[in-house]
């Protein structure tokens, strides 16, 4: 998709002014974190599991080539094919080729962030193939031609009334008298519509929460069961996954499953957890005739061993979004690309360029909540700072903040000069602010005083001057 | 034991009372306190803006000024966290400075946790008439492990009732330069924080970091709230006769210099 990340400030301002979005986001922020807390409380070994999950991912990343080749060998043994794709374009080409060979007119889709990353829907549409999203949230945003606003809850920015309006507009057969007031009614309506699509589809395209090197299986985690109909009914199953999704064994996969749903939604397990291995075997009652795994790099091998190496541990649970006060304020669309929240702010600059995504690493208070809740302990704040360093080194930081910073640093390195300037500035502000104790506005402080007063300094001078003037006299 | 007070630039420039309160608390607990004149800022604005060369230059000054003390104490989780957690990584390419930075890091504490965990202060003399709620600043809470300590110390203050805000651990939206770079987002965050505080019915807001306090006090005032805002050190030291943050001094009454 086209990025609007460069317009982050405008995107954020728009989001902050959107009352419906405010309402939706407050529900999200109240729901998921509380449920995660409860799930943790029910599992005393949760912290140990986080360590174990992190260690599995670290081990995989240190031996990625080995496990990917092992995975491929098992997929081939099971009768499937692996397509290695360096770029988004290569992955799109590979998927389109498989669809064309299958003579596909309709492709049903399970939810896939990699699908979003490579913009596969647009590509299929351009070539006359209809992609149909089958995850309820994805289906809704596909009807509305919107990108997902959350990596696990793509339509979280919408109210049920907005969804009802969308269905009335797009489902032409819908009788005007039919009530769509309850979420259940919305679900039934989507199901009615999707059932025909499931049966008629030629290809099923899903993502994968994990790839298992030991067995060549892929793991699908959903709450709706839509991925199961997506992969099992059509003749061809295509899996699109990025390469860091591989884990060594089934045992490792279960460890990660134990932290995944708990971190994401507070569930112990998602409703459906499916392991798919190869195409239908002789004697199987159902399953696809062909099984393809499209393995995407798209910049990930560049991250290996570098400053953003640990980002490749990410299992896409969404906990960092759910707990982020910035995400809670502006929602996912403001980030301007496929991903959002803290994981997006780290990942997006690497995928679309720091010039384009420069705001994202800065639009954070580095409050540390994301790292605190990350099931695989990714040091997200450290990585946001690293992007800031790169910006500074490349001189991408604005000249106003660069010179402000230089001025401050120049003073801070010279205590005598700092004292001189500080004493004058503090004395002036203290006199100006004496009557009210604070300022409603002040030159050069518009960013601060737009929404809040600025407390005036105390009278009598800086602490250092007053302390030493009072003869405490033990300063070095 | 000798303690070097790193007073922090915000306290130095805007709220000296917090510095005097810190000195009093440390001396009352038996510490020999020094305030090096050569201190300015911990370098965090540069560090968080990606300007590592300047952050390193400032850090070097701080290390030189403070490495002679048994402990370094700051009335801020944010600045103490900078020295404790980020100074060592700044000097990754310079083994000599790295070892000095690491040594200093190990001796650096946030004030409240130093009082509770190291000095084991148990019988504060202070009294405060009011109902307070405590905001857990992000750095204190998540970098310095400060959570129970301020509550334990405030429980010793006579006349004070402590009431918890449900979102006390949520960021107030200050974030150093963040609040001026993204004022709308920051404003939204501090508004949510203020809602949460006002809903407790407390008449006083306390925290251990002046950055958060200035941000929250500024928004409280803009919204016309009468909630009094103070650094926790002022209350623990019993130095609350001066005006709360952002309030004018009473006419004719000069601030008392303590210490």
Task: Name B224's Cβ contacts closer than 8 Å, sequence gap at least 6.
Answer: none
pLDDT at A29: 73
Nearest to B34 among A405, A466, A474 (CB): A474
Q: Residue A439 has what DSSP assignment?
A: E
- 3-state secondary structure at position A259: helix
Percentage with pLDDT > 90 across chain A: 88
pLDDT at B252: 53
Nearest to B34 among A326, A366, A475 (CB): A475
Interface of A with B in 204-243 (CB under 8 A): none
- In whole angstroms, how far apart are CA A174 and each of A140, A143, A163, A354, B10? 16, 15, 14, 46, 63
A438 and chain B in contact, CB less than 8 A: yes
Buried b (16+ CB within 10 A) or exposed e, A250-279: eebbebbbbbbbbbbbbeeebeebbebbbb
Which one of B40, B67, B244 would you mutate to disrupt binding with A, by most A Cβ within 10 Å of its Cβ?
B40
Q: What is the CA radius of gyration of chain B?
A: 18
Tell me which residue has tokens 């405008």.
A10
Largest CA distance in chain B: 55
User: Is CATH 3.40.50.11810 the right assignment for the domain spanning B124-236?
Assistant: yes
Name the stretches of chain A with pLDDT < 70. 472-476
Nearest to B143 among A368, A409, A450 (CB): A368
Nearest to B50 among A391, A435, A451 (CB): A391
- In whole angstroms, how far apart are CA A29 and each of A165, A266, A367, A371, B131? 24, 13, 16, 17, 28
* pLDDT tens, chain B, 259 aa long: 999 999 999 999 999 999 999 999 999 999 999 999 999 999 999 999 999 999 999 999 999 999 999 999 999 999 999 999 999 999 999 999 999 999 999 999 999 999 999 999 999 999 999 999 999 999 999 999 999 999 999 999 999 999 999 999 999 999 999 999 999 999 999 999 999 999 999 999 999 999 999 999 999 999 999 999 999 999 999 999 999 999 998 765 544 444 4
- Which one, of A216, A218, A261, A260, lies nearest residue A238 by Cα? A218
Asked whether the beta carbons of A314 and A252 are under 8 A apart, the reply is: no
pLDDT at A87: 97
Nearest 5°: CA angle at A310, between A308 and A314? Answer: 110
Residues in chain A within 8 Å Cβ distance of B9: 412
Q: What does residue A331 show for φ and ψ, rounded to 5 degrees? A: 75, 180
- 3-state secondary structure at position A107: strand
Residues in chain B within 8 Å Cβ distance of A364: 175, 178
Buried b (16+ CB within 10 A) or exposed e, A108-130: bbbbbbbbbbbebbebbeeeebe
Buried b (16+ CB within 10 A) or exposed e, B179-201: bbbbbbbbbbbbbbbbebbbebe
Is there a contact between B249 and A437 if contact means CB atoms under 8 Å apart? yes
- Residue range(s) in chain B whose domain bears CATH number 3.40.50.11810: 124-236
Asked whether the beta carbons of A328 and A28 are under 8 A apart, the reply is: yes
- In whole angstroms, how far apart are CA A192 and each of A154, A187, B13? 21, 9, 66
Both structure tokens of A325: 């006060």
Is there a contact between A387 and B171 if contact means CB atoms under 8 Å apart? no
Residue A321: how many CA atoms within 13 Å on its side-chain side?
Answer: 30
Q: Where are the alpha helices (DSSP H) in A78-210?
A: 88-101, 113-117, 120-126, 136-143, 160-170, 183-200
- For residues B139 and A37, give the distance between their C-alpha atoms in angstroms, rounded to a whole number: 21
pLDDT at B257: 44
Q: Would you call A84 exposed, middle or buried from its count of C-beta atoms within 10 A (0-12, 13-18, 19+)? A: middle
- For residues B176 and B192, give the distance between their C-alpha atoms in angstroms, rounded to a whole number: 18
- 3-state secondary structure at position A411: helix
Task: Name A269's Cβ contacts closer than 8 Å, sequence gap at least 6.
Answer: A257, A261
Q: Would you call A245 exposed, middle or buried from its count of C-beta atoms within 10 A (0-12, 13-18, 19+)? A: buried
pLDDT at A475: 46
Q: What is the ipTM of this complex?
A: 0.95
Beta strands in A195-316 (DSSP E): 203-206, 210-212, 217-222, 236-242, 246-247, 272-276, 290-296
Q: What does residue A141 show for φ and ψ, rounded to 5 degrees? A: -75, -25
Nearest to A476 among B9, B50, B65 (CB): B65
- For residues B202 and A7, give the distance between their C-alpha atoms in angstroms, rounded to a whole number: 40
Class of B2-116 per CATH?
alpha beta
Is there a contact between B12 and A367 if contact means CB atoms under 8 Å apart? no
Residues in chain B within 8 Å Cβ distance of A354: none
pLDDT at A257: 98
State the virtual CA torsion across A424, A425, A426, A427 in degrees, nearest 10: 50
Closest residue, chain B, to A439 (C-alpha): B246
Q: Rounded to 5, what percent of chain A is helix, strand, coil?
A: 55, 10, 35
What domains, with CATH codes, occur in chain A?
A: 1-18+320-397 (no CATH), 43-301 (3.40.50.10420), 400-469 (no CATH)
Query: DSSP for chain B?
Result: -EEEE---HHHHHH-HHHHHHHHHHHHHTT-EEE--TT----SHHHHHTT-HHHHHHHHHHHHHHHTTSSEEEES-HHHHHIIIIIHHHHTTT-HHHHHHHHHHHHTEEEHHHIIIIIS-------EEEEEEEEE--HIIIIIT--SHHHHHHHTTSEEEEE---TTTTS--S-TTTHHHHSHHHHHHHHHHHHHHHHHTT-SEEEES-HHHHHHHHHHHHHTT---EEEEHHHHHTT--SSPPTT-PPPTT-PPPP--
pLDDT in tens, A103-146: 999 999 999 999 999 999 999 999 999 999 999 999 999 999 99
């Amino acid at each position: 998709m086209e990025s609007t990340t460069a317009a982050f400030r405008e995107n954020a301002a728009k989001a902050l002014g959107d009352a419906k979005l405010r309402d939706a986001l407050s529900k999200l922020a109240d729901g998921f974190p509380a449920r995660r807390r409860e799930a943790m409380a029910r599992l005393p070994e949760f912290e140990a599991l986080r360590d174990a999950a992190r260690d599995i991912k670290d081990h995989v990343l240190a031996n990625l080539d080995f496990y990917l080749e092992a995975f491929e060998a098992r997929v081939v043994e099971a009768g499937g094919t692996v397509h290695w794709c360096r770029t988004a374009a290569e992955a799109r080409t590979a998927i389109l080729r498989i669809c064309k060979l299958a003579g596909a007119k309709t492709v049903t889709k399970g939810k896939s962030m990699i699908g979003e990353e490579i913009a596969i829907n647009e590509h299929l549409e351009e070539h006359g193939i209809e992609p149909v999203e089958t995850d309820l949230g994805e289906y809704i945003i596909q009807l509305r031609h919107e990108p997902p606003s959350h990596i696990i809850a793509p339509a979280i920015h919408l109210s049920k009334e907005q969804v009802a309006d969308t269905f009335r507009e797009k489902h032409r057969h819908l009788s005007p008298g039919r009530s769509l007031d309850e979420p259940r009614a919305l679900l039934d309506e989507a199901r009615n519509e999707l059932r025909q699509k499931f049966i008629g589809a030629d290809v099923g395209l899903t993502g994968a929460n994990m790839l298992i090197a030991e067995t060549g299986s892929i793991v699908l985690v959903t709450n709706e069961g839509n991925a199961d109909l997506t992969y099992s009914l059509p003749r061809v199953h295509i899996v699109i996954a990025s390469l860091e999704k591989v884990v060594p064994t089934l045992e490792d996969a279960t460890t990660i499953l134990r932290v995944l749903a708990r971190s994401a939604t507070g569930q112990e397990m998602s409703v459906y957890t499916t392991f798919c291995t190869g195409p239908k075997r002789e004697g199987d009652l159902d399953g696809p005739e062909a099984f393809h795994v499209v393995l995407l790099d798209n910049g990930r091998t560049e991250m290996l061993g570098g400053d953003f190496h640990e980002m490749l541990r990410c299992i896409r649970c969404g906990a960092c979004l759910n707990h982020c006060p910035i995400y809670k304020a502006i929602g996912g669309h403001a980030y301007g690309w496929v991903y959002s929240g803290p994981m997006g702010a780290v990942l997006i600059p690497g995928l679309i360029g720091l010039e384009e995504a420069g705001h994202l690493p800065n639009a954070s208070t580095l409050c540390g909540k994301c790292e605190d809740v990350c099931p695989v302990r990714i040091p997200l704040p450290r990585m946001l700072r690293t992007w800031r360093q790169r910006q500074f080194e490349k001189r991408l930081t604005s000249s106003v903040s660069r010179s402000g910073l230089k001025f401050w640093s120049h003073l801070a390195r010279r205590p005598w000069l700092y004292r001189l300037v500080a004493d004058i500035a503090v004395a002036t502000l203290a006199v100006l602010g004496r009557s009210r104790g604070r300022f409603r506005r002040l030159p050069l402080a518009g960013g601060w005083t737009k929404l809040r007063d600025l407390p005036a300094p105390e009278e009598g001078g800086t602490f250092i001057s007053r302390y030493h003037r009072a003869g405490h006299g033990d300063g070095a | 034991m000798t303690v070097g007070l790193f007073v922090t630039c915000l306290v130095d420039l805007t709220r000296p009372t917090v510095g005097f309160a810190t000195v009093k608390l440390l001396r009352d607990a038996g510490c020999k306190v020094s305030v090096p004149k050569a201190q300015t800022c911990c370098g965090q604005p540069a560090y968080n803006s990606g300007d590592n060369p300047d952050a390193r230059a400032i850090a070097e000054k701080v290390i030189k000024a403070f490495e002679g003390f048994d402990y370094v104490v700051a009335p801020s989780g944010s600045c103490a966290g900078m020295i404790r957690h980020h100074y060592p990584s700044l000097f990754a390419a310079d083994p000599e400075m790295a070892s000095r930075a690491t040594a200093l890091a190990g001796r650096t504490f946030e004030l409240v946790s130093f009082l509770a965990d190291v000095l084991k202060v148990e019988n504060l003399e202070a009294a405060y008439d009011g109902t307070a709620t405590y905001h857990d600043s992000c750095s204190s809470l998540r970098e310095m492990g400060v959570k129970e300590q301020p509550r334990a110390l405030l429980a010793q203050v006579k006349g004070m009732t402590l009431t918890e805000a449900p979102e006390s651990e949520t960021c107030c939206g200050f974030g150093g330069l963040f609040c001026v770079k993204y004022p709308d987002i920051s404003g939204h965050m501090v508004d949510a924080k203020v809602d949460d505080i006002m809903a407790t019915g407390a008449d006083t807001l306390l925290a251990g970091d002046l950055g958060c306090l200035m941000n929250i006090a500024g928004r409280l005032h803009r919204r016309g709230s009468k909630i009094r805002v103070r650094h926790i050190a002022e209350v623990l030291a019993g130095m609350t006769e001066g005006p709360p943050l952002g309030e004018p001094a009473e006419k004719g009454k000069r601030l008392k210099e303590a210490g």
